[in-house]
Amino acid sequence: MANIISDETIEYVGILAKLELSDDEKEKAKSDMGRMLDYIDMLNQLDTSSVEPMSHIFPVNNVFREDVVVNGDDRENILANAPEEKDGTFVVPKTVD
């Protein structure tokens, strides 16, 4: 494995992803990520200077919707997914700027 992921990096990625990893899991994640970067290095050996960057795998563009209201009130179904609800809202831990 050419790419070695540092403890700081895996810690940081964990924070970004809101994941708490055990020491074991950290080691595994480090080696997984190292191998992913190795794979990217392999791709980087190819000459892509004449290839347009691609953002989508299908040769399709312009998929649009007309601006017409179709959806009605589906609150009951939507709130069925809420861990907790109150007065028609999703209840979450207190969050302030």
Partner 1 sequence: MKDYEVVIGLEVHVELATKTKIFCSCSTEFGGAPNTHTCPVCTGMPGSLPVLNKQVVEYATAVGLATNCTITQNCKFDRKNYFYPDNPQNYQISQLYLPICRDGYVEIETEEGTKKVRIHEIHMEEDAGKLVHDDWTDCSLVDFNRSGVPLIEIVSEPDMRSADEVIAYLEKLRLIIQYLGASDCKLNEGSMRADVNLSVREKGSSEFGTRTETKNLNSFKAIARAIENETNSQIDLLESGEEVVQETRRWDDTKEYSYAMRSKEDAQDYRYFPDPDLVPINISDEWLEKIRSAQPEFRDEKRARYVEEYKIPQYDADIITLYKPLADLFEDAVKEGSSPKEASNWLMGETMRIVKDKNIEPDQVKLEGSAFSAFLKLIQDGVINKTVAKEVFEAIFDGGVDPVAYVEEHGLKMDNDTDGLKKIIEEIIEKNPKAVADYQAGNKKAAGAIVGQTMKATQGKANPQMINQIISELLD
- 16 forms part of the interface with partner 1 (CB under 8 A): yes
Q: How far apart are CA 95 and CA 97, in angstroms?
A: 7
CB of 59 to partner 1, least distance (A): 9
Q: Are 26 and 7 in contact (CB under 8 A)?
A: yes
Site for partner 1 in 57-96 (CB under 8 A): 57-58, 60-71, 73-75, 78-79, 81, 86-96
Give burial (CB, 10 Å; 0-12/13-18/19+) of 14: middle
* Binding stretches for partner 1 (CB under 8 A): 12, 15-16, 18, 55-58, 60-71, 73-75, 78-79, 81, 86-97
